[in-house]
Structure 1
Amino acid sequence: MEEFLRQYGPIGIFLGAGFEGQTAVIVGGLLARQHILGLWMVLASATAGSWLVDQLLFVAGRRFRTHRWVARATKQAAFARALRFIEKYPISYTLAFRFIYGLRVASPIAIGVSQVPTWRFTVLNILGAMIWGTAFTMAGFIFGEAVHNVFGHGHHAGRWTLIAAGGLILVVLVVWAVRYLLGRRKRAAEALVGDA
């Protein structure tokens, strides 16, 4: 992964963010810390790659919602869970789905099948991609700083460490909030079943 990103730079980060996920973005952050890639270039490529692929999946879900492949996908358990949560928390879910393991690809398609307006998804998708790209780029950047300091070549990270720490805190809060909401919904469903 590192060699691929060294060779292809922004294109590698863009494709990695869109198709592979956070590993390419974290490695991009590491390479930015080593001054092999520009930090802003990594942030922009990660955000753009994540945004574009998820936007295309949303459009596919919206445009082909009656197609047999999409109809088949709606019957999968992960898709059904995503759709139920989208109906109840459309804004929160659209901002957070990138951080939910196992629902990354199904989520934008499910949002496309749902009643969420295209303009709202587009705005929230841009914002979510920026949060996700920044969080994982800065996670790689901090890790690179830590490795650099451990081996005695680093300098005080200063404002970048603060920015990265803020990004990691944001990621932790988003993951916690999503898990809390999913757990709350599950407990409410179990209570309804128990009362029946």
Structure 2
Amino acid sequence: MTTTEAAAAADQGWLSTLVDWVVGLMGVIGPYGAGLAIALENLFPPLPSEAILPMAGLAAHAGEFALWEAILWTTIGSLVGALLLYGIGAWFGIDRLRWVADKLPLVYVEDVDRTVAWFRTHGGKAVFFGRFIPIFRSLISIPAGVVRMPLWRFGLYTTAGSLIWNTAFILVGWYLGESWHIVEEYMDVVQNVVIVVVVAVVAWFVVVRVRARRKNDDHAVEPPAA
């Protein structure tokens, strides 16, 4: 089965349309098309690399280009997309982030300072391991830019994490062929779990902050002791 036929066999919907587009792009400009698709996936996290990368592996298996080319250009695409997000974070900067935090009802400027301090200490690990977590694998580049992580360090951790992630899924496409979408279904479950966890954490944060603010307000209105 060719890559085009495999794409046609995927479930109908936006994912199938995306896969068709990636396959067409790879058919026109080879592995560079896969790299471009992955760069866009970094900029738009809803685009699933779990669907794009196996198609690159399947195309390599079909002889459309070499396996090493698929790995090389998708990793370059990951780095380019991450650098663009890093640039957005660097442009936004800590001062703007503090200003925004000061305007938000349940966020304090001190929260930004603590987060920045944590990221300056553990940012390398966050960037590297963040490349293995759906959605966060893209968004983690923004705080790295905000704190101005040294560009060489950011590029090193991003490239290392992306190389491992991309190689794994490209090899899935290489070995499984048209059955690659089986793995993608499992990754959908993982992505949904990540979304649920994020929503739960945000809800917990809001509840804690609302309770703390109400307690402070109650103390503020208590009459002074006689």
* Normalised TM-score (structure 2): 0.54
Structure 1 residue aligned with 2:31: 10
| Structure 2 CA distance for partners of 1:50 and 1:72, relative to 1, 3 Å | farther
Alignment pair present for 1:114 and 2:135:
no
Kept in 2: contact 1:13–1:45 (CA 8 A): yes
The structure 2 residue matched to 1:41, chosen from 61, 69, 84, is 69
| Structure 2 CA distance for partners of 1:72 and 1:39, relative to 1, 3 Å | farther
SS of corresponding position for 2:124: helix
SS of corresponding position for 2:135: coil
- Note the 1:50-129 alignment, pairs <5 A: 50-65=78-93, 86=119, 89-114=122-147, 116-129=149-162
SS of corresponding position for 1:36: coil
Structure exhibiting the larger radius of gyration computed from Cα positions: 2
How far apart, CA to CA, are the structure 1 residues paired with 2:159 and 2:99? 27
Alignment pair present for 1:144 and 2:177:
yes
Quick one: which amino acid aligns to residue 153 of structure 2? R
Unaligned runs of 5+ in 2: 1-19, 42-47, 213-226
Tell me by how many angstroms 1:106 deviates: 2.0
SS of corresponding position for 1:124: helix
The structure 2 residue matched to 1:25, chosen from 49, 53, 60, is 53
- Note the 1:171-182 alignment, pairs <5 A: none
Kept in 1: contact 2:54–2:172 (CA 8 A): yes
Alignment pair present for 1:131 and 2:164:
yes
How far apart, CA to CA, are the structure 2 residues paired with 1:90 and 1:39? 32
Tell me by how many angstroms 1:71 deviates: 7.0
How far apart, CA to CA, are the structure 2 residues paired with 1:135 and 1:99? 11
Quick one: which amino acid aligns to residue 138 of structure 1? L
Kept in 2: contact 1:64–1:70 (CA 8 A): no
| Structure 2 CA distance for partners of 1:33 and 1:103, relative to 1, 3 Å | same
Kept in 2: contact 1:13–1:25 (CA 8 A): yes
Name the % identity. 28
| Structure 2 CA distance for partners of 1:122 and 1:89, relative to 1, 3 Å | same
* Normalised TM-score (structure 1): 0.61
Kept in 1: contact 2:58–2:174 (CA 8 A): yes
Q: Give the number of equivalent residue pairs.
A: 152
How far apart, CA to CA, are the structure 1 residues paired with 2:173 and 2:97? 37
Quick one: which amino acid aligns to residue 19 of structure 1? L
| Structure 2 CA distance for partners of 1:66 and 1:25, relative to 1, 3 Å | same
How far apart, CA to CA, are the structure 2 residues paired with 1:86 and 1:125? 15
Quick one: which amino acid aligns to residue 38 of structure 2? A
How far apart, CA to CA, are the structure 2 residues paired with 1:7 and 1:125? 28
